[in-house]
Structure 1
Amino acid sequence: MTDAVDYPALFLKRGEDARLRAGHLWVFSNEIDVKRSPLSGFQPGELCAIVDSAGKAIGIGYVNPNSLIAARLVVRGLEHALDRSLVVHRLNVALGLRERLYDEPYYRLVFGESDGLPGLTIDRFGDVIVGQTTTAGMERLKDEISEAIVKVLKPAAIVWKNDASIRALEHLPDYADVGYGELPTPVVVREGGLEFECDPIGGQKTGWFYDQHANRDRLARYVAGKRVLDVCSYLGGWGLRAAAQGASEVVCVDVSGGAVDAIRRNIERNGMTDKVTAVKADAFDELKRLREERQRFDVVILDPPAFVKRKKDFAEGRIAYRRLNEMAMQILSREGILVTCSCSYHMPRAALLESVQQAARHIDRQVQVLEQLQQSPDHPVHPAIVETEYLKGFICRVLPA
């Protein structure tokens, strides 16, 4: 092997370097030559040089002997160490894109593999930064990451929201706390000229769903002067944006009492009490109630949590998506608009569209797909890593058959 800097070598089996050389960043445990580099010799998160079977270094990454994805490549070649300086550089590159995309500092700043920092997510809420490490390697680098964030962004506070279920795959503990500075109350995100209070410690994910920002921007032509139902509303992002874009009436529905309280605060904050209301209810139960009351909406927005979190959940999850879309169509007014989304990576775009079509045929409706939706550009897709493209959706017109 050529110069391996100061990192121990992780040798790949013959031919197992092809995917990495094609652009991917993951090494699976069965691709490692454990005779030359036993996984038991590494600590979770330890930095390593990833080396092909001929002894040529591919680059630097980190290893977790306890995970199916046993290593992740972070730096190609051996010229640059995996340290704070490298993180500073990657943050600056990521920041350059976001500053081109957005006029205000509210966005996903780092989207893991797509921004060259696998296992790391960073969301920006003005001068509050919310970080999430989902791998042992990034967890071990957390101090260097914090120092890099301070150097590049000079934030008032850094929150570590490390309670994602995916951390269990890396045998990492769950916690959520302030790691730097002092957290203002409330934390506010700005989108589309509106302000939303969010909770980066106790809320869902990092506190806000930036991945739908661009899709919410598309609402104006569909909602102006219309009655809108926002199902699985969380903090009211879709619903309040619809109201701001001209909807005559908006109803936001969420099963969480805390979320509904937050929606009501956001309604007040943005002066929309005359046209937006929030209802605490299960999505399926509320859609059934509205159908029984023969209520009609011109636009129904479905942005549910992931029904297919694992591959084995696909069959059951597909049924749930079909049911939800069918119930939504039943309360749409004639030639109404259905906005339907899935954030389940294991629910392919084609399968979601098939579920929509099956729902329509079951109740004798016809669907026209007007627009296809995907995650916002601050969640860039890595073309070699299909897992980075997870959000999909459709804006549909629903007609009598």
Structure 2
Amino acid sequence: MSVLTLKLKPREERRLRAGHLWVYSNEIDAGADFRNIEPGALCRVLDSRDKPLGLGYVNPRTLLAVRLLSGNVDVTIDREWFARRVAGALALRERIYGEPYYRLIYGEADGLPGLVVDRYGDVLVVQITTAGMERLKAPLIEALQEVLQPRGILLRNENAARELEGLAQDNEIIGEVPDPIEIREEGLRYTLSLAGGQKTGFFFDQRDNRSRLARYVRGRSVLDVFSYVGAWALRALHDGAASATCLDSSSTALDAAQASAALNGLTIETIRDDALAGMKALRAAGRHFDVVIVDPPALIKRRKDFEAGIEHYAALNRAALQLLAADGILVSCSCSHHLGADDLQRILLREARHSGRRLRLLEQGAQGPDHPVHPAIPETRYLKGFFCSATAE
């Protein structure tokens, strides 16, 4: 694959020298020909004095025009190069986890921008989100097969990022991918549909936060809002909760939650409804819970959605507080990068005061170490969660 050369405007190279991996289109010193570059082409990036900064791939149709793969402009991006990156990511995860269920590749944080790989034992789920990584798919898949020798690989390529990059929305199976598949986490078994589930199938990023539940749930009633396949609820029951209720709008997800409960000899209640409507109905029925977990999908995907998203988070936490017992525990999460931890904390304080609750922050959670943070890219730090005591005044 041929490699282009792009030069940055004067003074624009400072971010890359500081370890950043992105180049924006307005930072590139290029003429009209830049727009004619084929999306995904490999490129060397030079500073304004022709000193090399790195090798990456380019998409002239997007604001984030270049993503760097390496600081070495002479490296060859082939199967061997990918295999080294995959092996490094695997070694880190195997050092942390005793079983092969985790996020194996987390984009820029693992030196592979535009790529997510989740590992489900001998099955991999791959999500490619950029034109550059799409063009490199063949050596990438070869490297994954060489390093991990999976039984099957599922490419889950249905997401908004691919649409922005001008890529098709499609799925592909290589080898054998069973449906459903069974996985294990912290002594629990889950049955999942990798092809029919949300995103890449399971939310490994909340593993450590789910483990924090044990000290709060023993002998208590638990409500898991946006439960998906019931990972929070089942963890609570495993740790001694008296009862657990899953609230989700997807009947498929709730069926998976019931199936996973049966695998573990546990019993859960499931309610299919929109989160706000479901919590309103529970309140109308006079229901209360000792612990309420609110773990929604990203409600602020773009900066322009910030104000509307703030109000949505506020409404969800307000409804949750209204369902809490007098000495309840609220677990409130957000995976919206644009909503900072301070923003979520302010929402919780405001809604607690309006609900006549005295709020105390007990713990703050984040994404697990299989979702490492790149120190120069704030966007790789996205998950935040507060464990709160919310007592009646």
Classify the TM-score, shorter chain: over 0.9
Which residue type is aligned with residue 8 of structure 2? L
CA contact (8 A) 1:212 1:376 kept: yes
Match of 2:319 among 327, 339, 343: 327
Q: What residue is the counterpart of 1:400 in the other structure?
A: 392
Do structure 1's residue 188 and structure 2's residue 190 form an aligned pair? no
CA contact (8 A) 1:107 1:378 kept: yes
CA shift for structure 1 position 78: 2.6
Matches of 1:187 and 1:176, distance apart in 2 = 17
Residue aligned with 1:38, SS: helix
Q: What residue is the counterpart of 1:227 in the other structure?
A: 221
Matches of 1:6 and 1:234, distance apart in 2 = 44
CA shift for structure 1 position 41: 4.1
Matches of 1:345 and 1:387, distance apart in 2 = 6
Q: What residue is the counterpart of 2:5 in the other structure?
A: 9
**TM-score, structure 1 as length reference:** 0.96
CA shift for structure 1 position 289: 1.4
CA shift for structure 1 position 353: 0.8
Matches of 1:51 and 1:79, distance apart in 2 = 12
Do structure 1's residue 82 and structure 2's residue 74 form an aligned pair? no
CA shift for structure 1 position 40: 2.8
Q: What residue is the counterpart of 2:290 in the other structure?
A: 298
Task: Provide, for residues 374-396 of structure 1, a one-character-per-residue CA deviation record: whole Å limited to 9, x for no partner.
Answer: 11110001110000011111000
Match of 2:230 among 229, 232, 236: 236
Matches of 2:112 and 2:134, distance apart in 1 = 12
Q: What residue is the counterpart of 1:357 in the other structure?
A: 349
Q: What residue is the counterpart of 1:336 in the other structure?
A: 328
Do structure 1's residue 282 and structure 2's residue 278 form an aligned pair? no
Point out where structure 2 has 5 or more consecutive residues left out of the alignment.
Answer: none
Task: Provide, for residues 289-313 of structure 1, a one-character-per-residue CA deviation record: whole Å limited to 9, x for no partner.
Answer: 1212221111001101111111111
Residue aligned with 2:368, SS: coil
Residue aligned with 2:299, SS: coil
Q: Which runs of 4+ in 1 moved over 4 A?
A: none
Do structure 1's residue 172 and structure 2's residue 167 form an aligned pair? yes
Which residue type is aligned with residue 177 of structure 1? E
Point out where structure 1 has 5 or more consecutive residues left out of the alignment.
Answer: none
CA contact (8 A) 2:287 2:323 kept: yes
Do structure 1's residue 264 and structure 2's residue 248 form an aligned pair? no
Q: What residue is the counterpart of 1:51 in the other structure?
A: 46
Q: What residue is the counterpart of 1:380 in the other structure?
A: 372
CA contact (8 A) 1:75 1:82 kept: no
CA contact (8 A) 1:47 1:137 kept: yes
Residue aligned with 1:325, SS: helix
CA shift for structure 1 position 185: 2.9
Matches of 2:191 and 2:46, distance apart in 1 = 47
CA shift for structure 1 position 79: 4.0
CA contact (8 A) 1:61 1:82 kept: no
Residue aligned with 1:225, SS: coil
Residue aligned with 1:320, SS: helix
Which residue type is aligned with residue 196 of structure 1? Y
Aligned residue pairs total 393
Q: What residue is the counterpart of 1:42 in the other structure?
A: 37
Matches of 2:178 and 2:257, distance apart in 1 = 19
CA shift for structure 1 position 31: 0.5
Matches of 2:347 and 2:86, distance apart in 1 = 39
Residue aligned with 2:361, SS: strand
Residue aligned with 2:345, SS: helix
Residue aligned with 1:330, SS: helix
CA contact (8 A) 1:123 1:130 kept: yes
CA shift for structure 1 position 224: 0.9
**TM-score, structure 2 as length reference:** 0.98
Task: Provide, for residues 321-360 of structure 1, a one-character-per-residue CA deviation record: whole Å limited to 9, x for no partner.
Answer: 1111111111111211000000111111111111111111
Residue aligned with 2:3, SS: coil
Q: What residue is the counterpart of 2:64 in the other structure?
A: 69
Do structure 1's residue 347 and structure 2's residue 343 form an aligned pair? no
Q: Percent identity?
A: 50
- What is the root-mean-square deviation of aligned Cα atoms in Å? 1.3
Match of 2:14 among 13, 18, 22: 18
Residue aligned with 1:9, SS: strand
Matches of 1:29 and 1:129, distance apart in 2 = 33
Matches of 2:234 and 2:35, distance apart in 1 = 52
Matches of 2:284 and 2:155, distance apart in 1 = 44
Q: What residue is the counterpart of 1:113 in the other structure?
A: 108
Matches of 2:3 and 2:30, distance apart in 1 = 17
